Structure 1
Amino acid sequence: MISEIIQPLFLLIIFIQLSITTSQNNDRVALLALKQTWKDTPLKWNDGSDPCGDWVGITCNNSRVTQIVLTSAGLTGGLPGDIGQLTELEYLDLSYNDLGGTLTTEITKLVKLTNLILIGCNLIGTIPSNIGNLASLTDLSLNNNRFTGTIPASVGKLNNLYWLDLSVNQLTGSLPVSPGLDMLTSAGHFHLGDNKLSGDIPPSLFNSDMKLIHLLLDNNHLTGKIPSTLGLVQSLDTIRLDRNSLSGDVPSNINNLTNVHEMYLSNNILTGLVPNLTGMEALYYLDLSNNTFAQSNVPLWFSTLPSLTTLKMQNTNLVGELPAALFSIPQLQNVDISNNLINGSLDISANPSKQLEHVNLQNNLITDFRQRSQYTTELILVNNPICAESGASNRFCVVPTDVTPTSYMSPRSNCKSSCGAHLIQSPNCRCAYPFTGHFFFKATAFSSVNNETIYDSLYDYLKSFFQADASFVDSLSLSNPTRDLNNYLVIKLEVFPNGKKSFDVNEIGSVSSALSQQTVKPNNDFNTYTFIAEIYILGPGVAKSNTGIIIGSIVGGCVLVVLLVIAGLYALRQKGRAERAVQQSQPFAHWDPAGGTGGVPQLKGARSFTFEELSKYTGKFSETSEIGAGGYGNVYKGSLPNGQLIAIKRARTGSTQGGLEFKTEIELLSRVHHKNVVGLIGFCFDQDEQMLVYEYIVNGTLKDILSGRSGIRLDWMRRLKIALGAARGLQYLHDLADPPIIHRDVKTNNILLDQRLVAKVADFGLSKPLSDDNMSHVTTQVKGTLGYMDPEYYMTQQVTEKSDVYSFGIVMLELITARNPIHKGRHIVREVKQVMNKNKELYNLHEVLDPTIGSGSQLKGLERFVDLSLKCVEERGNQRPSMSEVVKELEVIMTMVGLSPDNEPSPSTSATYEGAGKNNSDHPYSNETLFAYSGSFPHLKLDQK
């Protein structure tokens, strides 16, 4: 009887034991598959060690893998389906690795997963439609990848989800509801901005049971009305619906949201009266700018919001006098109500806020100004009647030049010694390789980038955080606060290792995972954030290779053989080092004129890189680092050890034409240093490779932006600045470069825009220097781009500076029309001339103007701009202006529209070009339309999780 009971129990125990052993083996097999797929896995990831005991980034429970945290580990190679075998996995964070590939559907088998964090992994394809199978998820962070397709409706099954971040992707389609996002009543965060989502915001998306804190839908293609159901979500803290195409009235119950601190509804096409926000006493940042509201009286609630720090209402059709009490709100810092119908008297005399820094009221109808005698706030009253009166203060009636962003750094160190190559001094004056990245604060309580006191408080918090949780951190610094195109506050972070020059992989993972997991929580002044960790290059002596360390018992003659092999390898290595030393000191010692590259280039300041260096900086020129391809070759994105982003233009092997372009660009760009010309960092002429290393220009080509592919919208003012910047770059090449340079391929594809939309002329593969013997023209085979090519050059084969002027005239017409030079078989010059009528408003060009440029009074100076562009495209070169004349006329036009042309230095008035822009982290351009990159970074989020 007893045996009959014991036998089944014994068999059951054996079965359970076998099942456990099988599961453990499955985990091991899965991890080995990951190791096989990923490149450069950490040390000890080898077949002979125990993954649960030795492998960096792996956490186990009862020999089952429960966590994988490998952030900023330099992994590449995709995410294999084998990961679906790790059925006990609860936590997966692979952020800041250039994995590439798609998100495997096998991941939906990990039903115990609570945190899926894959930030900035360069993933493509669609989000798995059955993502809802991961019912235990509390954090789903897939932001800053390249996902396409729609948001899966099955996301509504994630009942435990608190954090949803799909921002900065290329997602399309409508917001899914019933089933979908409306079912996530426990979620605190919907971060869905910077995508291509379209359609209406469904009213059923919101309900009174929601606990939503952040609603971020900014910079999409959403249309229709803002649903009144939004007013039901009482828990909301931050609302970002800006930069969409939302229309109709703002819901009247919007002021029910009394807990909202920040609300952005700007850059839509909202109508009706300006909304009544009475009672929103927690509100400290409000932006309703650039909508089509009906003419509304200045709201009474302006002066009843006690927490207000920033009020932005430009171009909202407001009428009447501003209440003096508005400027007495204690925390008020920034008021922008420009381009309205504000009239009467401006009174800032009654106890104005001590924090008030900036008041912009230009383009209004103000006739009087009352102030205190010691008024120091920046006030702009340009284009108000008061400025037309005699004796008006020039101080308030002139557009101030852009304030240079603060050179803030905390803490400030006074180190006397300097560091070697690539090493950076810590605040404690120790030389090391810091972990570097950038915070992107999406909704700050303050508006000024020069608020050093508040940055100091952030530094104090971060310092205490790392001191408490990371003994391997010596010190840190914060620096370079700026505002990007999305008005996000960007701050650079550097973290330095303790007692050594470099962090190891485990330490880097600890620091970066703390940021990806939102463990860092500064105060509410900074609110929600994202973070990008730059590629970390390990310092000397820090092992990272996944090559196994083979240990065995070698006896007898085997020992001798091994020693001889080692000695031989050492000799070869020393020989290689010697050869590389020669290569660095004499990079063109083996330059081959017979290869079609001509004589040895004459360089000025360009740095020589070895092939191994550039291979390392680009992940061995992996497909995931490739950002473009053209006739010359491929272009790759990389990062130098100091964190600077670079773009590497790699010629195809055996390309004679490429060799000539290679030499030309090195020779010309090594001599050129100008804010409006893309900078050459260096080159590689090693192992039969020809590579150029440029700045990485964040926002890509003007062509891509005008076509709408980048998602960046350019109004008339920005287009004027871009035109002036590009013109100054060409003027520099023609007048101040030594020798003068004819570009020969000016076009919108070859004008790049950095993160501040500063124009940079690029691609000098076809350029020609003017010799001392002939300073007027160069006789050469006709080359260029159809539509931009000077007809006189085409006929005579003599290229002159006026050939660039003709091409620039085409660029100017393209700037206002956003059409290709040849559109439906018709040239852009002919199209403009055929519809132009100088006796009508805007020369009757409405039908050919780009609809996104603006209209009517917003296009002041456009007629003069058109006149200039048509002068540039005269058929005969001697009838065209010079680039210096073009620059001067563009400066006059900018002054007409109220912009200061001195925001960008002019070659004729400044000698500060040498070294300009050397610290920018921008990218270059090759001879095709290579870049459609919109400046996005791997984003994280900050709040109470």
Structure 2
Amino acid sequence: MHKEKVSIFQFFTSDPETRIGKGTNSTIQILFFPSCLMPPFTDILGFLSKFHVYKERKLFLLILLFQVLFVAARTSSDDFKGLAGLIENWNQKPPSWVDSDPCGSNWEGIGCKDSRVVSIKLSGMKISGRLSPEIESISELEILDLSFNRGLTGTIPDEIGNLKNLDTLILAGCSLFGPIPASIGSLQNLTFLALNWNQFSGGIPRTLGNLSKIEWLDLSDNQLEGAIPVSNDQGLLGLDLLHTARHFHFGNNRLSGRIPAKLFNANMKLLHVLLDNNRLTDSIPASLGLVNTLEAVRFDRNQLFGPVPPSITNLRNLTELYLSDNNLNGFLPDLSGLRLTYLDVSTNNFTSSGIPPWASTLQFITTLNLGNITLKDEIPVSLFSLPNLETVSLRDNKLTGDLDIGNSFSNRLQSIDVENNGIDGFNQGNSQIRAAVLLRGNPICIQKEDREKIYCQERQSNISYSTPPNNCSPLLCISNQLSSPNCKCAYPYTGTLNSRVLSFSNFGNTSYYVAIEQSLIIFVRSQNLPVDSVSVSNPVKNSSTEYFYVTISFFPSQQDRFNRTGVSSIAFALANQIYKAPAFFSPYFFIGDDYQYNAGEPSKKTSHAGVIAGAGVGVFVFLVIAVLAGIYAYRQKKQAQTAMDMNPFINWELNKNVGAAPQLKGARWFSLEELKKYTNNFSDANAVGSGGYGKVYQGVLTTGELVAIKRAGQGSMQGALEFKTEIELLSRVHHKNLVNLVGFCFEKGEQMLVYEYIANGTLMDSLSGKSGIKLNCMKRIKVALGAAQGLAYLHELADPPIIHRDIKSSNILLDDHLNPKVSDFGLSKLLVDSERGHVTTQVKGTMGYLDPEYYMTQQLTEKSDVYSFGVLLLELITGRKPIEQGKYIVREVVREMDKSKDLYNLQEILDPCITEVTNPKGLEKFVDLALSCVKEYAAERPSMAEIVKEIENIMELAGLNPTSESATTTETFEDASLRHPYGNEDFKYSGVFPSAKVEPQ
């Protein structure tokens, strides 16, 4: 114990030999001779001055330091230094972190062994702030899990590479950004690395090839770009050296270039290779067939071309294969020797032929998607008798003859999609078939006697499930409590369980959800987690990623809420893949929600043997502390006031018109001084735009990141509610087609929003010619697709759904690749009551884009955004503002339109960029889509997900791959200069509901 005490003092002294002295052989001697033991007061103040923290935390640190000086502790001083560094950089710490002995007093989330901290498990703890470089001091750390803390932002410090004993590193579901540090490659004991669902950028570090023990490598759902690194003869490292890895999860990034042939070799033990939703090009390497352990491969939604290599037939364990939405060609190899359950090769350019004979021999197949691959000839009846088949899609091909499903079809068959082919007849076979047959767009549905049949009608796929009560009657609960499956009112811990690779597609089959429930119940009991019951609900299929997820609710045992340790233990078990999901749902990842109802917070009072030992000198210690604290408080008076001001919302509620302080999930807070530094004191040279809100300045952060800083008028609180709304919403949503909020400033009467810098201005500026960018026909369609995907994310994947309420061309920004990003969430609303399907609210928005039904009823729905988006589509093809010279674009298009004529007789009002192309393919469908969006009644309008699909179909009709970044080009006016996106804001309607009906002009 004495040895540890000396090391603690060394932590506070620059010259331990002189200050500690010699002959300090007992605790009593140390306490009675502080002049020999304590560092000079100036050293203590110098140490404290480095902690730029809130006033209450400075007091905590002051007391903490003196506790360390006078109380024997069980924790290594180096480890305490590392934890103190975390506290310095966190705006919110666990409430049990209140004294100087993390190991001795059981600090929440801290695991110790022989006085050394070996694990930090703080998953889902609502921690906010940054990861301190001083974490390197915790040198014996083996597990670091800070997942699902959306307030954790900033970059990963390079010093993390000094944690040589680290085995598990989980930072999933946070708000971290910047490059992944190359120093992680120094962690040669690492077996589990999960950095998914953040905002990391830059390339995959080559040094990860040094992780010789890694088994789980998940970098998906970030903004990583560049090539996949492999080793070479010059000694450079690469991922091909990871022979112990079982999982390569790199989907939903911006990786480009080819899939290197060297990436795969026979020494690897990979189970899953997930490279979906990237920008990869060239062909699939034949070396893939060398990894005979593979079970799931996802190369879909890239820009791959060439044939599928025959070597893929060597993958005898392969069960899921996704190759859709590429430019693959040639003939498909015979896959009958594989144990496939899910095969999707749709939307490619394979050589025209009939349905491959081997398709009818896939005995394990549940999902077969051969849509849009130029298939022709008749459909073999044997295809529908596969014993496990649930879904077969043959849509958008050139199939002919009659559709005959026979009498021996699988009783598991749920959907037969043969839309948009050349089918002339339909032999229904056994009338007891339960499968949905879709034949729209075939000759059979043109015939009078068939076109009213159900198989010729559009069908909506509604997925609905919620765990039923367990032989009891649900209770009517108070507040935000829910009735559990065991009919107990409680506050559950919730999150989404997401499957990256599915082996089923019958989402209406409740047995799948029951299996998930049962496996979770067995798991929580085997792990002795404080869970009474588990509920599965709200199954959702994401059409843009092919991910499938369900909401999981864990209900507490013993009491009506979890304590913080209970939440963290559940989150850690799921983040660390300790829970093994059923095979049909694996691999999965979990994203936990913030938990607001913690019970039984640990007491801040602890007892120590050291306190008892020093009781005899308590009075002396008290006097020393009192004197030093008084001097310190005097010296820090001005800094303490500044520290209080650092709370960005300390005075928020003094403005009675803006509601409670914002609830943030990761946006970084900037001080006014920081933003002055980044903008050269808001100099005119840095000003890049202006509008009714104020000015916009370009700034450069210390990381080199370029940002746009939107500054409200000096001293003005106008728009405070919009300010609050925007930072709340943008801090919790992340999508490639939504503008990224870097942070905000709310200090000394200033309101500023800090966004990523978008280089190419607004869509409105490009359409009007102000930006100097000329958008051709195809690029406009791609802009429409990206904006639609961003809105579909808000409507379907945000929880609760978000209604933007101000969709218009000036709120669509174009990045340096002319990819669209939806911006300005100041008027947005949460659809918190999904049962009602609307929010009753004061009418706000921009005239010309406003939904008439919302305008008249004050009932805001997701279809209100759809209406505005429809106006935007018309703006894209006409190049005209919604209201121009008293003419309303919707009325003008409807008035001029004649479907019996070429281009619907709209040549006079189409933008010249559109008519430059002779008979542009898909234009009529684009007009039809736009007009369906601006239907008078919301119920008649499509959803944003349906709009996304239709735009993708239009692009394919025009010969353009929806995932391609290079399919179209842009032209720039020679003498035009680019302008910034944040200026020239147009008028927003923000009045109360009018007493009389007002039609758009």
Tell me the TM-score normalized by structure 2.
Answer: 0.61
**For residues 52-451 of structure 1, what are the structure 2 equivalents within 5 Å?**
53-97=105-149, 98-178=151-231, 179-280=237-338, 282-370=339-427, 371-392=429-450, 394-411=452-469, 415=473, 417-451=475-509
Counterpart residue identity of residue 498, structure 2: F
| Counterparts of 1:254 and 1:327, CA distance in 2 | 25
1:46 touches 1:548 (CA, 8 Å); kept in 2? Answer: no
CA distance in 2, matches of 1:231, 1:658: 59
Q: Is structure 2 residue 556 aligned with structure 1 residue 501? A: no
Measured at CA, do residues 806 and 890 of structure 1 come closer, stay the same or move farther in structure 2, by a change above 3 Å?
closer
* Partner in structure 2 of residue 511 of structure 1: 570
Query: How far apart in 2 are the matches of 1:66 and 1:319?
Result: 62
What secondary structure sits across from 2:534 in the alignment?
A: strand
Match of 1:491 among 544, 550, 553: 550
Aligned to 1:41: 93
1:610 correspondence with 2:667: no
Question: 1: distance between equivalents of 2:880 and 2:241?
Answer: 44
Does structure 1 conserve the Cα–Cα contact (< 8 Å) formed by 2:563 and 2:599?
Answer: no
- Taking the aligned partners of 1:252 and 1:458, their CA distance within structure 2 comes to 36
Question: What letter corresponds to residue 658 of structure 1 in structure 2?
Answer: G
Following TM superposition, by how much is the alpha carbon of 1:144 offset from its aligned partner in structure 2, in angstroms? 1.1
Secondary structure in 1 matching 2:551: strand
C-alpha spacing 1:472/1:130, structure 2 compared with 1 (3 Å): closer
Q: For residues 311 and 274 of structure 2, what CA distance do their matches in structure 1 show?
A: 19
Letter aligned with residue 211 of structure 1: K
Report if the CA contact (8 A) 1:147-1:171 is conserved: yes
| Match in the other structure for 2:78 | 26
Pairing 1:655–2:655 present: no
Tell me if the contact between 1:415 and 1:429 (Cα under 8 Å) persists in the aligned partners. yes
One-letter identity of the residue aligned with 1:127: I
Give 1:33 shift. 2.1
Residue 538 (structure 1) shift = 3.0
Structure with the larger RCO, 1 or 2 (CA within 8 Å, 6+ apart): 1
1: CA distance between counterparts of 2:947 and 2:465?
32
**184-193 vs 375-384, which moves further:** 375-384
8 Å contact kept, 1:40–1:544: no
Give the Å deviation of 1:294. 2.4
Aligned to 2:811: 749
Q: 1:313 to 1:839 in 2, by over 3 A?
A: same
* Aligned residue identity for 2:133: G
CA shift in 2, pair 1:898/1:400, >3 Å: farther
Q: Secondary structure at the match of 2:182?
A: coil
**Residue 526 (str. 1) matches residue 581 (str. 2):** no
Partners of 2:670 and 2:209 in 1: CA distance: 34
Aligned residue for 2:550, secondary structure, equals strand
1:730-763 Cα distance to aligned partner (Å, 9 max, x none):
xxxxxxxxxxxxx998446289xxxxx9x99976
SS at match of 1:123: strand
1:537 aligns with 2:601: no
Contact 1:228 1:253 in 2 (8 A): yes
SS at match of 1:297: coil
The 1:265/1:30 distance shift into structure 2, 3 A limit, reads same
- The one-letter code of the counterpart of 2:517 is Y
Shift of 1:287: 0.6
CA distance in 2, matches of 1:745, 1:130: 43
1:389 shift after superposition: 3.6
Residue 471 of structure 1 deviates from its aligned partner by 4.7
| Equivalence for 1:909 | none
Instruction: Read off the aligned partner of 1:303 and give its amino acid letter.
Output: S
3-state DSSP of counterpart to 1:376: coil
Aligned mates of 2:77, 2:437 — CA distance in 1:
71
Give the match's secondary structure for 1:151. coil
Deviation at 1:652, TM superposition (A): 8.1
Q: Tell me if structure 2 keeps the 8 A contact 1:44–1:548.
A: no
Partner of 1:672: none
Aligned-pair CA distance for 1:73: 1.3
CA distance in 2, matches of 1:633, 1:546: 50
How far apart in 2 are the matches of 1:43 and 1:895? 47
CA–CA separation in structure 2 for the residues paired with 1:119 and 1:819: 44
Contact 2:391–2:415 (CA under 8 A) maintained in structure 1? yes
CA distance in structure 2 between the aligned counterparts of 1:289 and 1:70, rounded to whole angstroms: 42
User: Which of residues 852, 873, 877 in structure 2 aligns to 1:812?
Assistant: 873
Q: Contact (CA 8 Å) 2:399, 2:422: kept in 1 or not?
A: yes
Task: Classify 1:259/1:590 alpha carbon distance in 2 versus 1 (closer, same or farther; 3 Å).
Answer: closer
Stretches of structure 1 lacking an aligned partner (at least 5 in a row): 1-13, 563-586, 593-607, 635-648, 666-686, 693-700, 708-712, 730-742, 752-756, 766-782, 790-803, 823-827, 870-881, 901-925, 931-945
Q: Tell me, what secondary structure is at the counterpart of 1:457?
A: helix
Q: CA deviation at 1:377?
A: 1.3
Q: CA deviation at 1:408?
A: 2.7
**What TM-score do the two structures reach when normalised by structure 1?**
0.65
Q: For 1:160-199, what per-residue CA distance to the aligned partner results, in whole angstroms no more than 9, with x for missing partners?
A: 1111101111111100001201111221110001111101
Q: CA deviation at 1:810?
A: 6.2
SS in 1 for 2:372: coil
- Quote the offset at 1:843 in angstroms: 8.1
1:43 positional shift? 3.3
SS of equivalent residue, structure 1 residue 54: coil
**Secondary structure of the corresponding residue to residue 130 of structure 2:** coil
Q: Deviations over 1:87-131 (max 9, x none)?
A: 221111111123211111111111121111111221111111232
Letter in 2 for 1:111: K
Where 2:584 maps in the other structure, the secondary structure is: coil
SS at match of 1:51: coil
SS of residue paired to 1:155: helix
Give the deviation of 1:85 after TM superposition.
Answer: 1.7
Question: Per the alignment, in what secondary structure is the counterpart of residue 199 of structure 2?
Answer: coil
Which residue in the other structure is 2:926 paired with?
Answer: 862
Deviation readout 1:467-500 (Å, 9 max, x if unpaired) = 2223521222111111123121110011122122
Distance of aligned partners of 1:257 and 1:335 in 2 relative to their CA distance in 1, 3 Å threshold = same
Residues in 2 aligned to 1:720 and 1:152: alpha-carbon distance in whole angstroms: 29
Deviation at 1:59, TM superposition (A): 1.7
Q: Distance in 1 between matches of 2:374 and 2:120?
A: 54
Is the contact made by 1:237 and 1:260 (CA closer than 8 Å) also made in structure 2? Answer: yes
Determine the C-alpha separation between the residues in 1 that align with 2:509 and 2:264.
Answer: 36
Structure 2 unaligned runs (5+)? 1-21, 26-72, 232-236, 627-651, 672-689, 696-709, 727-747, 754-761, 768-772, 774-778, 796-804, 814-819, 829-844, 851-864, 884-888, 952-980, 986-1001
